[in-house]
Structure 1
Amino acid sequence: MGAVATAAAASFLVVAASPAPVAGAPGIGDPYFPRLGNGGFDARHYDLDIAYAPGTGRLDGRTTLTARATRNLSSFDLDLQKLEITRVEVDGRKAKFTRDGDEITVTPRGTLRKGHDFTVSVTYGGVPEALSGPIVFGSDYGWMKTTDGVFVACEPNAASTWFPSSDHPADKATYDIRIKAPKGLTGVSNGRLVSAYDKGGSSYAHWRENRPMATYLATATIGKFDVRTGRTPGGIPVYVAIDPVLKDSNAVDVYAVTAAATDYWSQVFGPYPFEETGAIVDDMPEAGFSLEVQSKPAYSAVRSESTIVHELAHQWFGDSVSVAQWKDIWLNEGFATYAQWLWAEHQGTRSAHDSFRAAYDTRPADSDFWKIKVADPQRDTMFASAVYQRGAMTLQALRERIGDTAFFELLPAWTRQHRYGNADTGDFIRLAEKISGRQLDDLFDTWLFTTGKPTV
């Protein structure tokens, strides 16, 4: 009787229907860039195949993104600026797409099921255009033509000037990047070089980044380069590419400083997070900035040793541990600026305390510098000097409050806890309080969340 009753009861069980498919959101909801990134899927891997003709400026590409649906999707979005799309496929089948400015909406033939991986391949081409405006020091950024190729530095929102993507650091992925260029030019990108060869009148390079990377850190810089490879004294592979035009104009030995700083930061911040370190030094004076391209910082020109140690510190603070939203940018720039102070301390030229005092004392209380709220600096001023310098001051104030033992335990704990992931200011405050055993709200309120010059 018991078995029969159980079977009968089972016949009345109702299996819940799967949620109806919905359209993925056009952005992840970052208040600074509401339409950047995309909802409904998690980017897993990009396979980029590009061909660039410097003479005409034309880029032809095919990007295949492997992603995992985070809900049942009827459609989803990608970010791509200006370039013309000729074909879109989802899981190898032609898909419909529409365009609204920089937003591409892809509609596959069937529902993409939550938890399942899918691929979307986009074939596209045209002449990419750099972005401009007040955000990046008033400079152009993104895909920038040079006399012999292109300099590619995309923070914060310009990866979509050259490939379709979920263009926000909260959606990181691994990469294969294949670059075709005229023979005699070298294509340099992230991670390790898989292969490089010439065929006919073209050069080919295949790079692979096996560690999760934010879109803005991807590069495909192309030009004439003198390349030096080797290992740091600590054994980390090094790849440094320098435009021969700059060979005799740099007062600093880029290779030597890169090797030394990578090893030193590995001691202070925790193990180096990537497979290779290095640099790309290109003759691009119009850019006027450098960028912490993952595994190979890109320098439009190397101005100082301090610039190199700053960009290499970003490999931990910004590249491995990335911001959850752009308002948390001080977690990148404040930390990298503080690394410059630590480097001077390491070299015996000036203590971090003295660097703090110099930054603090040279700015009067009525300076616009103190009007920026570092924890939320606003989009057009997200790279204001206060984000860098007051962010670094915050860390020195923290160090002096909790002491060196706790402070230098905190830094590698932070990079270990959020390795290859994302974090925000609240995460850092909680970890600082946990490691120090102290309540620190007043310190962070004063230095990060309040405008005006604090009393020291």
Structure 2
Amino acid sequence: MNTRNRVRTGALAVALALLAAACTSGGSGGGVQGTPGAAGLRDPYFPKLGNGGYDVRHYALTLSYDPASGRLDGRAEITATATQDLSAFNLDLAGLTVRDATVDGAPAAVNRAGDELTLRPREDIDKGAQFRAVVRYSGVPETITDSDGSKEGWLKTADGALALGEPTGSMAWFPGNHHPSDKAAYDITVTVPAGLTALSNGVRTAERKEADGRTTSVWHAAEPMASYLAMLAIGKYDMSTTTALGKTEAQGQTRTQGQPQPQAKVPVLTAADPEVAARTAALRARIPEILEWQAENFGPYPFAAAGAVVERDGDVGYALETQTRPVFPASSFVAGTLVHELAHQWYGDSVSPATWQDIWLNEGFATYADWLYQEDFEHVPVQKNFEKAYANADAWAYSPAEPPTSGDLFGTPVYERGAMVLHRIRQEAGDDTFYEILAGWPAKYRHATATTKDFIAYADSMTDADLSGVWDDWLYGDGKPALPATP
């Protein structure tokens, strides 16, 4: 054996040894060596929002808030499944101070860079493995100002606080994978000073008085929820409870479907700031009847709870479809807006946008729901609202499927032109098919996410009509298309 061959043999042995070490080091259960999950999901409008490498299944948030100091103390327990071999992963968190973190009970290294919180577990996590991360944190949460000037995140009120998250504000009060494509179940436990109430999503499963006089409320949201739809309202409230739905002769029966589908009664909890409780009581009491009308048109209600929270105008400047319990300023708590936000429980909350570019699927459907309500209850034909929207120059500023910037996500084209797209489908496909689409779309993607391409494919599959002109001219077109010829 010559020297050259001996060198080659020795080098080969070293390489094999290094490869064996790499294959057996760091992984839980001896998997291949992991790599860090992506810091951001490359959303067209918020590329750093969300994180790669894992899929959250459940959030358990334990929170304590002191309105006097503005301090929030939190513990977030995040149960997730790795979608790759992970050596580290990121969570979105704005402000707040992280005290420590663990992964599967073992201390994890923590690093902060802006709104990115990186956790490096003691051992790599194998692809497909479920893991549990716990983050303890505290501080005074931030109010986030969006590019369109609206306020979200943590909004301090005169007697407490309001936490709202569309599109990025949830990172202001808990760490998570804050992109709508990663939906999860939630359990939220909140402790507040005596005399105050803490409201959140889903069903309240417990409420207790602590030894120091504070009150702890526990909320359970079993159905998957995008984090931007999580909400927290802390303050003094006048509350009422009732039930909705549960009418076996109506549920699941659209205008063209003949077979009813029974649905269990849904608890409806509404809350209003005492200053606006009296003047909003009558409309709050109508929520069950509105939900029942919507279920007849859109299919079975998708959640185990419903309701609304009405705040003073100075506490919040807009209504928001937070899951199961939308939030309103008192001046916006009118029938049309209530119908709009409740319709989002089907369109946006149950079927959520896969990216923020798909937001027109939320707002176009909810706007059209209001048009339908006006037609059924206020004697205003949908065609009249369609023509009014068509005449609005603001509706043609850009394509609803391709807003130019993040500041345009909630502009007139997304709402009104989005609704016009739906009406054009109705005109081309006919009423019977349209109502099948109206109920079939949230049924097909129930508790999931969907894209504009998904909707186009679904609508095309439901009709023999040629909808290419609707997509090309009304959804994606740059200019204002001509009205269809009157038959």
1:36 paired residue number: 49
Q: Deviations over 1:311-346 (max 9, x none)?
A: 000000000000001011000001100000011111
2:431 counterpart letter in structure 1: D
For the Cα contact (< 8 Å) 1:257–1:308, is it kept in 2? no
**Match of residue 440, structure 1, among 467, 476, 479:** 467
2:213 counterpart letter in structure 1: G
2:368 paired residue number: 338
2:220 paired residue number: 208
For the Cα contact (< 8 Å) 1:146–1:284, is it kept in 2? no
Distance 1:227 1:425 in 2: 38
1:376 paired residue number: 402
Q: Deviations over 1:101-139 (max 9, x none)?
A: 00011100001011110011000000011111333xx22
Distance 1:133 1:191 in 2: 27
Per the TM alignment, residue 348 of structure 1 is displaced from its structure 2 partner at its CA by: 4.2
1:241-390 to 2 correspondences below 5 Å:
241-250=271-280, 253-285=282-314, 287-301=316-330, 302-361=332-391, 363=392, 367-377=393-403, 378-390=405-417
For the Cα contact (< 8 Å) 1:139–1:286, is it kept in 2? no
**Match of residue 232, structure 1, among 244, 257, 260:** 244
Q: 1:350 to 1:53 in 2, by over 3 A?
A: same
1:8 paired residue number: none
1:424-435 to 2 correspondences below 5 Å:
424-435=451-462
**DSSP 3-state at the match of 1:275:** coil
**Match of residue 86, structure 1, among 81, 99, 117:** 99
Distance 2:273 2:187 in 1: 24
Q: Provide TM-score, normalisation by structure 1.
A: 0.93
Distance 2:481 2:340 in 1: 25
Asked if 1:76 corresponds to 2:89, the answer is: yes
Distance 1:325 1:372 in 2: 18
Distance 2:362 2:353 in 1: 8
For the Cα contact (< 8 Å) 1:151–1:284, is it kept in 2? no
For the Cα contact (< 8 Å) 1:159–1:167, is it kept in 2? yes
Q: Deviations over 1:202-261 (max 9, x none)?
A: 0110000000000011112111011101112543211111111112343x7232221111
Larger Rg: 2
**Match of residue 441, structure 2, among 405, 411, 414:** 414
**Match of residue 398, structure 1, among 411, 425, 432:** 425
**DSSP 3-state at the match of 1:340:** helix
**Match of residue 134, structure 2, among 113, 121, 125:** 121
Per the TM alignment, residue 368 of structure 1 is displaced from its structure 2 partner at its CA by: 4.5
2:297 counterpart letter in structure 1: V
2:333 counterpart letter in structure 1: R
1:165 paired residue number: 176
Identity within the alignment, %: 43
1:3 paired residue number: none
Of the structure 1 ranges 433-442 and 177-186, higher mean CA displacement relative to structure 2 is found in 433-442
Asked if 1:176 corresponds to 2:206, the answer is: no
2:395 counterpart letter in structure 1: F
For the Cα contact (< 8 Å) 2:283–2:334, is it kept in 1? no
For the Cα contact (< 8 Å) 2:316–2:328, is it kept in 1? no
2:202 paired residue number: 191
Q: 1:438 to 1:19 in 2, by over 3 A?
A: farther
Per the TM alignment, residue 286 of structure 1 is displaced from its structure 2 partner at its CA by: 5.0
Distance 1:39 1:19 in 2: 18
Of the structure 1 ranges 229-238 and 401-410, higher mean CA displacement relative to structure 2 is found in 229-238
Distance 2:462 2:127 in 1: 38
1:336 counterpart letter in structure 2: A
2:254 paired residue number: none
Q: Deviations over 1:346-389 (max 9, x none)?
A: 1142111111111212x2xxx35312111011311100111101
Q: Deviations over 1:20-67 (max 9, x none)?
A: 311000112212111111100000000000000011111010000000
Q: 1:334 to 1:154 in 2, by over 3 A?
A: same
1:149-164 to 2 correspondences below 5 Å:
149-164=160-175
RMSD: 1.5
**Aligned residue pair count:** 435
Q: Provide TM-score, normalisation by structure 2.
A: 0.87
For the Cα contact (< 8 Å) 2:157–2:315, is it kept in 1? no
For the Cα contact (< 8 Å) 2:351–2:450, is it kept in 1? yes
- Unmatched runs of 5 consecutive residues or more in structure 1: 1-14
Distance 1:455 1:97 in 2: 57
2:304 counterpart letter in structure 1: E
**DSSP 3-state at the match of 1:248:** helix
For the Cα contact (< 8 Å) 2:400–2:418, is it kept in 1? yes
1:64 paired residue number: 77
**Match of residue 60, structure 2, among 28, 37, 47:** 47
Of the structure 1 ranges 433-442 and 266-275, higher mean CA displacement relative to structure 2 is found in 433-442
Q: Deviations over 1:265-324 (max 9, x none)?
A: 111111100001100112242532011110011112243111100000000000000000
**DSSP 3-state at the match of 1:131:** strand
- Unmatched runs of 5 consecutive residues or more in structure 2: 1-19, 24-30, 247-264
Distance 2:303 2:315 in 1: 30
**DSSP 3-state at the match of 2:151:** coil
Distance 2:170 2:378 in 1: 39
Per the TM alignment, residue 19 of structure 1 is displaced from its structure 2 partner at its CA by: 4.2
